């Protein structure tokens, strides 16, 4: 990313409930762990991952979105890779 791009990034009003498409791959931090599942909150939208493997809260992960409901802002996804706390 160039210096100019960095300067011009983010001059917008970003929603509190971002939306995702099925099959989209995103990078994010794990917000919560419940049982073997994970919750990843991006703003006030949540993506649930049923099989969280060994990812811990605050680990950075790459995940593939499998579904996303634009009304409730809740979706599901599956883990692609655990990048770890430093990732």
Partner 1 sequence: MPEEPDIELSFRGGRLVSALPIALFIAWAIFQSGFLGIGDTTGLVTGMLTGLIVGMLFVRGDWKDYADVIFAGMTRRVAATAVVAWLWAGMFAETIQVGGFVDGLVWAATVLNVGPGLFPAATFLLAALLATGIGTGYGTAIAFTSLVFPAGLLLGANPVLLFGAILSGAVFGDNLAPVSDTTIVSAVTQDADIGGVVASRVKYAVVAAAFAIVAYLIAGFGIPGLWSGMPHANVTGQVSASVSPWGLVHLLDIAVVIVLAIRGRHIIEAVSWGLIAAALFNIMLGAAGLVDVSAGSMILFSAPQNGFTQMVDTLPIIGAVVETVPGAQAGVGGSIYSGAVGFFPLIVLTLLLVAGAEVMRAGGGFDAIQELIIDTIATTVRRAETTMVLGTALVNATVTINTAAEIAIAPYVATLGKRFNINGYRRANILDANTSALGYIFPWGGGLLAGFGAMQGLVGGEATPWFTQEMLVNPASVFPYVFHGWFLVSVFLVAAWTGYGREYVSDRTSEEVSRV
Binding residues for partner 1 (CB under 8 A): 1, 3, 6-7, 9-16, 18, 26-29, 31, 40-44, 58, 60, 86
Residue whose CB is less far from partner 1, 9 or 54: 9
Minimal CA–CA distance to 15: which of 46, 39, 44, 55?
Answer: 44
Residue 58 CB, nearest approach to partner 1 (Å): 5
Three-class SS of residue 73? coil
Residue whose CB is less far from partner 1, 41 or 48: 41
Minimal CA–CA distance to 60: which of 39, 34, 44, 81?
Answer: 81
């Amino acid at each position: 990313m160039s210096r100019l791009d960095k300067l011009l990034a983010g001059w917008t009003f970003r929603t509190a409930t971002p939306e995702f498409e099925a099959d989209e791959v995103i990078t994010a931090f794990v917000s919560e762990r419940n049982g073997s599942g994970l919750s990843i909150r991006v703003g006030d939208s949540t993506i649930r991952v049923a099989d969280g493997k060994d990812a811990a809260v605050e680990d950075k992960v790459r995940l593939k979105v499998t579904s996303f409901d634009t009304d409730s802002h809740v979706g599901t996804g599956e883990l692609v890779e655990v990048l770890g706390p430093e990732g």
